[in-house]
Amino acid sequence: MWKWKHNVQDIEGEVLCVSQFTLLAKTTKGTKPDFHGAAGGDHAKDLYQYFFAKVQELYKAERVKNGVFQAMMEVALVNDGPVCDSNVLNTLQRC
């Protein structure tokens, strides 16, 4: 398994937080994704804002950028591999 040599803090990189509810979709039945397990709009927004504030608190607030929750967004970037930390997801699911 490939391992990164440096983390965001090591390289003083930037973090772009974008909500992506499709990560929790069930696709095991039929042709449409099932989002019944996703949090409702207000609760989901609160969870996302909590996550974003925590990332700012634990890193450098000026280096952490935010998208608009529930908006259609076009994001252009050069990405060296998408990251989805399952530990973060598990922590947020307990909130």
What separation, in Å, do the N-terminal and C-terminal C-alpha atoms of the chain show? 31
Residue 85 and residue 42: Cα distance in Å, rounded? 23
Residue 22 bears catalytic tag: yes
Reference 25, options 35, 39, 40; nearest CA is 35
Catalytic residue among 22, 27, 31, 91: 22
Which residues have a catalytic role annotated? Answer: 22
